[in-house]
Chain A
Amino acid sequence: QSALTQPASVSGSPGQSITISCTGTSSDVGSYNLVSWYQLHPGKAPKLMIYEGSKRPSGVSNRFSGSKSGNTASLTISGLQAEDEADYYCCSYAGSSTWVFGGGTKLTVL
């Protein structure tokens, strides 16, 4: 069970769109449409942004969207805002009631 691969960092200017990729294998991301995305701000509880690949929990802005192609899932944030600056982690169901997370991506809003 290896960690999912995410870019270490991405950046964008306010109003722009960015995409964070999350690459797994045919045993996790590729087998299940069960990728979640979490937003982490220092000292705060992680926040669920996307689940089941593309669904948004109540209260999450529609500027956040998720998708998947093959073994790679993606999180897109449109209309970047300063408050979006945070670390983002993907997580995939990996079968047999186990989960695997990504290494995290630091988003900087320029």
Chain B
Amino acid sequence: QLQLQESGPGLVKPSETLSLTCTVSGGSISSSSYYWGWIRQPPEKGLEWLGSIYYSGGTYYNPSLKSRVTISVDTSKNQFSLKLSSVTAADTAVYYCARLVTAMVTFDYWGQGTLVTVSS
């Protein structure tokens, strides 16, 4: 059974960079059938797609966040990561990682999410 697990600091100071890692178990991140994505949910708000990455490193980002988001992949560790720079309180959210199935054009497996609070 595929599992995704987010990890990283739960508290980040304003203006600093938020960094999270998603560890994939039960399957290979290097499969040509999938992309891997980050999605977030601010408190009392809806979901927001942040970006996606292919195992070879190709990336796609939400245009509204593109200047602040960087997603990378480490196939040797079966992990992919998110960096969000210059954070503000508006970046406080539950951050999810998920698998994107290219044939189905959908996110089929998700992690449980991790809450990141931006506060001094």
Contact = CB atoms under 8 A, between A and B. Distances in A.
Interface of A: 1, 3, 6, 34, 36, 38, 43-48, 51-52, 55, 57, 89, 91, 93, 96-104
Interface residues of B, number: 25
Contacts, number: 69
B46 A98 contact: no
A89 B46 contact: yes
Nearest to B101: A51
Interface of B: 4, 37, 39, 45-49, 52, 60, 62-64, 96, 98, 104-113
A52 B104 contact: yes
Contact of B64 (A1, A55, A96): A1
3 cross-chain pairs, A with B, having the tightest CB-CB distances, nearest first: A103-B46, A51-B106, A101-B47
